[in-house]
Structure 1
Amino acid sequence: MHHIENAHSCAISDTIKISNVMFSPDGKFVLSLGLCDGIIKIWDVETGALSRSVEAHSCNYMIVGAHGLEFSKDGKYLISGGDSSTRIWDYATGEEIATLLRFEDGEWLVMTPNGYYNASEKGDQYLNVTVGGQPYSIAQLRESFYRPDLVKVALSGGSLKEFRRIAEIKQPPTVAIVDTPASIGTLETTVTVKVTDAGGGIGDVRLYLNGSAVVLDSSRGITLTPTAGTGAVVKRYTVKLAQGTNSIRAIAFNADNSMQSSDATCQIVSTYKAPTRPSLHALVIGVNQYKNPKLQLNYAVADAQLFADTLQQAATPLFEQVKVTCLLTREETTQENILQTLRSYRELNPDDLFVFYVASHGTVDDGEYFLLSSNVGSTSTAKLKTDAISQHALKEIVANIPATKKLIVIDTCSAGHLGDAIQTAMLTRGMSEDTAIKVLSRAVGSTILSASTSVQEALEGYQGHGLFTYVLTDGLKGKADKGRTGFVKTTELADYVDNEVPLLAERIFNRAQYPTISISGQAFPIGRVQ
């Protein structure tokens, strides 16, 4: 250590404090972590020379838990702690693999240098990143950079160099709600949104009413030209309001829809009283037969019919009317007919409930999730984009249904191969089925229940049905009413499915099945216990 001591005395002043000193696994180097500057220095034991240094953490840090330096068991990775973060480094190259953040309330976030991240429910609300020289919440990049599977790739030693980086993203516009009344006595009002280009152009505009999306103004194929000299575009939207206080939230995206603006909000009080009680409208789809016979399913139609019948019975005592539309034949379940039927719900009122259930195949290709309609033959990337129902199309239609209480149930079997998780993540560009569900749920402000995660098959053949739908309908019949209130709420139904499906899958099939549950928007009663 004599040479190392000399090196230290030459390189570090007396005021610099060292948090940790340790040998590399091969004993050839000594590593130190500066307590004040957060720099990792690597010293050659033989020569005493500074081999390299890494600016790992900012100064004056205080982290949750232990801090300092540690090697992975195989010696390939170096873990350092500081500035409220833990970072993982490739020891051979000095490149950062990921940053792990844990916040005081227990929320957490893991992010790669590219900006792709995984997080707890509210973890992405606490971290700011720089885009175009300005600070923004990373939550504003959620739809493009929330990719847990790519984080797994990075932590497993895979490279993400071919993927887009946050540094390449252009700034979102700024948004303001202007010239909008504070109170009305009618069902509808006009909400005026001023969108100002901040350098990244103007893309989609969304309006949320009481937490649920009711307007999605898509920019696809449209060039928005701001008013000369102002950089601003003024958009006016007719919005139906519920009786009482209505919370309006507006956001807009940059031109390529990779990043959303900060929120613009307002409240409007409506004294309008609807002449009838709310109604429940449901679109229930089951697809057994496809153009490609290899895609045939056995239980999708039976599952859809079971859900429709159960919902009709459970919901009827609660609503003015319960209208359940079933699409079950090959002719009824084409892409064209499903999308046309979904668009027919744009005339609902804000107090109405909308339920969308689909049992079919689902798959992810080229970074996008697709529901397979009966007209699908080839599952090539090109054919999926023209023949199936894309995540984008589903998001756009559901977000334009004006009901503020929405529930989406997706009971799909994967049409792809459940192979190596890392290889799959690279092929799908990190957009797994469960990630797609969570992104869609936030985007439309709706609770979504999905049969299984991307690395599992949805189990079929339980009491003549798929396991997921059988448990779901059991919950709707009353088993989800844990509080014995006589009502089944969407959140209670989600909890019941989340708890019961894995238990039955293990006990009956000796297999794993974990539903994807994403709760967003309002919780509301969907059925009454008979």
Structure 2
Amino acid sequence: AEENILIEGVVTDNGDISLFQINGKDVPLMADGTFSHRVTVAKGNKHYRLYAVDSENNSTKKILKISGITKKKPYREKPQYDSASSRPSLWVLTIGVSKYSNPNLNLKYADHDALSMEKIFKKLRKGIFSEVFTRTLVNEQATRGNILQAMSTHLGKAAPQDVVLIFVAGHGIKHTQTGSYYFLPHNADSRNLLFEGLKWSDFEEAIKIISKNVSKVILILDTCHSGAINIAMRGVRSGEDLGALMKEATGLYVLSASKGGEPSVEGNRFRLPGENKGHGAFTYSILKGLSGEANYDKNSYLTIGELFSFVSVQVPRITRGQQHPYSKIDGTDLPIVKFKK
């Protein structure tokens, strides 16, 4: 007889952890060092080797002994919701700027990233959300004024039980004097940053206003310097039942493309099957994760925590260590995709 069990824990170090494995298999760590990994064990005793390496190549290992596995009734998901009307809606705002008023700033794939994120959430809405309401601003549409207006008028329609998702792709820049993080809308550059740039405090203020009505906000940033944003966070709690998770989940979920000072890599090689245009490495990894690759435990739904863990491992691999995503979860884990069994 075999049993599927979940190993959870935390890895701590004075520096950064560069590698963590269980029985030779890479296991992703959350930003706070926590991990969650499912294994299948036969009835009886089993030993697992936990191995970690930090950024200075110091290593440590621990042997975990699992014993006394007993047979139990298999877990079955409870009905999620009584009707479609009782399920939450998803309100999506995607922003991508490839073409700037200053052509020296032009990118290749940020607009495609935003359009693809909108498309995949429309496609994956069944099972979790009753409806998906999207608004996308790309290139000339993505001015500072239009972005702030969309946050207010579009996302402001979300009901308390709904989920809000904001995706931003383009140039991020730090002010040379203040060190503040700015996103560059279409008509902004380093010369008019104070007037046309979108400061992090603008996002923060908009999120505060949204959060008065909505308790679940997801912010995804595919820009340079996005990891430099500092947000105070609390711990994470997880659960099993999808319906309960959706109803109980609260918090701010932030995933950014790179740590402070790192580039945000893009390229034509980062293409999904059937596409003829590439993506940023970060967005490419998110799209793959949402399509099912991030569903580590192979159950019927994907959570934000699983997606963040997948992206944190995938991006450094495909960028050859140039880029390391940064993530924080303030609140409980949140299901976002339901798969057919």
Within a 5 Å distance, the mapping from 1:118-129 to structure 2 comes to 121=32
Letter in 2 for 1:300: A
Q: Describe the SS at the equivalent of 1:297.
A: coil
- Matched residue, 1:269: none
- Matched residue, 1:386: 195
- Matched residue, 2:185: 373
- Matched residue, 1:467: 281
Letter in 1 for 2:165: V
1:107 shift after superposition: 8.3
| 1:30-70 CA-partner distances (Å, limit 9, x unpaired) | xxxxxxxxxxxxxxxxxxxxxxxxxxxxxxxxxxxxxxxxx
* 1:404 equivalent in alignment to 2:223: no
Q: Distance in 1 between matches of 2:221 and 2:208?
A: 16
Identity rate, percent: 30
Within a 5 Å distance, the mapping from 1:93-172 to structure 2 comes to 121=32
1:470 shift after superposition: 0.7
| 1:426-480 CA-partner distances (Å, limit 9, x unpaired) | xxxxxxx4231x42767x9411111112222111112211111111110001111
Q: Is contact 1:405-1:522 (8 Å) kept? A: no
- Out of 424, 433, 439, the position equivalent to 2:231 is 439
Q: Distance in 2 between matches of 1:458 and 1:347?
A: 32
**Unpaired stretches in structure 1, ≥5 consecutive residues:** 1-104, 110-119, 123-273, 415-432
Q: Is contact 1:441-1:447 (8 Å) kept? A: no
**Unpaired stretches in structure 2, ≥5 consecutive residues:** 1-10, 16-30, 34-83, 235-249, 272-277
Q: Is contact 1:494-1:517 (8 Å) kept? A: yes
Q: Describe the SS at the equivalent of 1:519.
A: strand
Q: Is contact 1:502-1:514 (8 Å) kept? A: yes
Flag the 1:347–1:303 CA change in 2: closer, same or farther, 3 A: closer
1:521 shift after superposition: 2.4
Paired residues in the alignment total 237
- Out of 324, 334, 338, the position equivalent to 1:528 is 338
Q: Is contact 1:456-1:513 (8 Å) kept? A: yes
Q: Distance in 1 between matches of 2:97 and 2:233?
A: 23
Q: Is contact 1:107-1:121 (8 Å) kept? A: no
| 1:115-154 CA-partner distances (Å, limit 9, x unpaired) | xxxxx959xxxxxxxxxxxxxxxxxxxxxxxxxxxxxxxx
Q: Distance in 1 between matches of 2:156 and 2:203?
A: 13
1:277 shift after superposition: 2.1
| 1:333-379 CA-partner distances (Å, limit 9, x unpaired) | 00000000001222322210101001111111112111110111x40
Q: Distance in 2 between matches of 1:527 and 1:329?
A: 29
Letter in 2 for 1:503: R
Q: Distance in 2 between matches of 1:528 and 1:303?
A: 22
- Matched residue, 1:363: 173
Letter in 2 for 1:320: S
Q: Describe the SS at the equivalent of 2:258.
A: coil
Q: Distance in 1 between matches of 2:92 and 2:174?
A: 26
Q: Is contact 1:316-1:322 (8 Å) kept? A: no
Flag the 1:472–1:303 CA change in 2: closer, same or farther, 3 A: same
| 1:212-242 CA-partner distances (Å, limit 9, x unpaired) | xxxxxxxxxxxxxxxxxxxxxxxxxxxxxxx
- Matched residue, 1:478: 292
Letter in 2 for 1:527: V
Q: Is contact 2:303-2:333 (8 Å) kept? A: yes
Q: Describe the SS at the equivalent of 2:149.
A: helix
Q: Describe the SS at the equivalent of 1:407.
A: strand
Flag the 1:323–1:485 CA change in 2: closer, same or farther, 3 A: same
Q: Distance in 2 between matches of 1:392 and 1:445?
A: 18
Q: Distance in 2 between matches of 1:389 and 1:309?
A: 25
Q: Is contact 2:224-2:261 (8 Å) kept? A: no
* 1:490 equivalent in alignment to 2:300: no
Task: Identify which of structures 1 and 2 has the higher relative contact order when contacts are C-alpha pairs closer than 8 Å and 6+ apart.
Answer: 2
Q: Distance in 2 between matches of 1:328 and 1:106?
A: 41
Q: Describe the SS at the equivalent of 1:308.
A: helix
Q: Is contact 1:441-1:448 (8 Å) kept? A: no
Within a 5 Å distance, the mapping from 1:21-36 to structure 2 comes to none
* 1:504 equivalent in alignment to 2:306: no
CA RMSD of aligned residues (A): 2.5
Flag the 1:338–1:515 CA change in 2: closer, same or farther, 3 A: same
Q: Is contact 1:288-1:301 (8 Å) kept? A: yes
Flag the 1:394–1:404 CA change in 2: closer, same or farther, 3 A: same
Rg larger in structure: 1
Q: Is contact 1:477-1:529 (8 Å) kept? A: no
- Matched residue, 2:148: 339
Q: Distance in 2 between matches of 1:400 and 1:487?
A: 30
- Matched residue, 1:282: 92
Flag the 1:356–1:527 CA change in 2: closer, same or farther, 3 A: same
Letter in 2 for 1:453: K
Q: Is contact 2:170-2:222 (8 Å) kept? A: yes
